[in-house]
Structure 1
């Protein structure tokens, strides 16, 4: 695992160097403002957002609560969008180094506190509930597998999730070791045979929190006799979701809100229960959402303290104010 982490680190460095080549304009308006016609001709009023570069995963450009949602709910259009990673080190480093001015990060990310970043408030609830939920191939859902995974969801809190991420991201601990320790601390590491005879391939996205969650699922099922393979750090949802639908992945730790909006771009649910109900209906027939955890890790628009001070930003809505 350590060798894999070193390889990931090298890839992160390479990706960070090339970030500026990955940007795309968020609108055709080259001034980034709102064009208006007057007696003296066409003028343009630039917003604060139009002067900023936003960074995040590829899907954020098109999903309902991504750039389209920010425009619809707040009238926010960034001057440029740069593809980074899914709330991972590439995004964090891009924000730290000034390659992007704002970023899509997760609220449990310890780098927010560590770097003094500012989370912009979301008064209009652009970002829906993001409870952690196991998504599994229906053919693999035995009573034993369900008991193991539901048991994990029952113990997983937002506070615990943040601490898990901190151990991996800040303390540089091995994700598998962190997962095993959490299972042990919560009485979920007991050996048994309730999942014996089941073979599952467990996947994860390419950010520390999701890797730890995948390892928690994998180690708990392994302890109960399941045959487990892992495919970690796959990438963004565009890469791993088709594999989950096709059956080459059997189990994935997901976030109910972003997955719902990825599948159904017209979804309007926002509360945990509403989102979960809508998700169970939106999933393809071969996939099942098991019990969701209380733990949430919501998307957030994050900026540096310097940017917040420079433009007087406290909420997402402030980004739509006229630039001075």
Structure 2
């Protein structure tokens, strides 16, 4: 059907109203005369207040987006919004299979806004026995970035059960044999509300169970602001974490660039009631990601390019 001028105007007005409504609830950043100034950024709600979130983007790169849209922690809401054009840039994790399958462009971070993010178990100190720590350290010793990418591929892209995927990986790496190293340990293993955290929680819980621990799982709890108090108050005892963002959670002024430096600083910054166990070599770093079309349109290769004039 051919659109009349009146109908076209009405549709345009409706589209503009819808876009404004999407952004108005999150607040407008007023990005000014820059590439980012005309863009919507999608990320987890806590990205708005994180040290390496909106504040860090402005401080390190002079980047301010026009609108911040609260979605999820690099999960399907953010990915789909980016694919569908509902947002122009998203905070997505580098191990997400969508980066490859959807040809997203990960913008370089020369200013080291995002610290090294090695996967690490964070636990209530009084609940982790030496045997349990040994089991968890063995998991971390085997977990690599490539392995994590493959595990995510199976769970996210191939829609496999994360618990089954975890058990298969443990078996393939000699970590599923029954033993008694963690016998007598009782733990509740929690996770954040995104798929990789759930997968990692299954890895830790299943490895501990195989070695005689009594383990319950409490998955998809929510953000760090919810489960860290849970750890301290005893509703959960162990959760998968990432060294850099956890360091900035405990110490907003902390900054270290190498994995080892971040890990050392984290162990010092963690509250006395919590313990940071051995980190893995697996890294899943926060990233600002755009579609290939957006990258081509604005000549984007780095986060710093977002501060340039369009």
What SS is found at the alignment partner of 2:26? strand
Distance 1:213 1:266 in 2: 28
Deviation at 1:270, TM superposition (A): 2.0
Closer, same or farther: CA 73–307 of 1 in aligned 2, 3 Å: same
Instruction: Give the match for residue 42 of structure 2.
Output: 55
Compute the RMSD of aligned alpha carbons: 1.3
Runs of at least 5 residues in structure 2 that lack an aligned partner in the other structure: 1-20
TM-superposed CA distance for 1:25, in Å, is 2.8
Alpha-carbon offset, residue 258 of structure 1: 0.5
1:225 is paired with a residue of what secondary structure? coil
Cα distance change on mapping 1:214 and 1:112 into 2, 3 Å: same
Matched, 1:170 2:146: no
Which residue of structure 2 lines up, in the alignment, with residue 198 of structure 1? 185
**Partners of 1:26 and 1:77 within 8 A in 2:** no
For 1:128 and 1:277, locate their aligned partners in 2 and report how far apart those are by CA, in whole Å. 13
- In the alignment, does 2:229 pair up with 1:227? no
Q: Structure 1 unaligned segments of length 5 or more: list them.
A: 1-18, 34-45
Cα distance, 1:161 vs. partner? Answer: 0.4
Q: Is the 8 A contact 1:52 1:80 kept in 2?
A: yes
8 Å CA contact retained: 1:134, 1:149: yes
Tell me what 1:11 maps to. Answer: none
- Contact residue 23 and residue 67 of structure 2 kept, 8 A: no
The 5 Å alignment of 1:1-324 reads: 20=22, 23-27=25-29, 29=30, 32-33=31-32, 46-323=33-310
Distance 1:302 1:139 in 2: 40
CA contact (8 A) 1:22 1:83 kept: no
CA contact (8 A) 1:23 1:80 kept: no
Q: TM-score, normalised by structure 1?
A: 0.87
* Higher fraction of strand: 1
TM-score after normalising by structure 2: 0.91
Distance 2:100 2:82 in 1: 13
In 2, Cα distance between the equivalents of 1:240 and 1:23? 25
Number of residue pairs matched? 290
How many angstroms does 1:26 deviate by?
4.6
Give the structure 2 partner of residue 16 of structure 1: none
User: By how many angstroms is 1:120 displaced?
Assistant: 0.5
> Aligned partners of 2:195 and 2:54: how far apart in 1?
24
Moved over 4 A (4+): none
Q: 2:229 & 2:78 partners in 1: Cα distance?
A: 24
> Is the contact between residue 119 and residue 283 of structure 2 (CA under 8 Å) also seen in structure 1?
yes
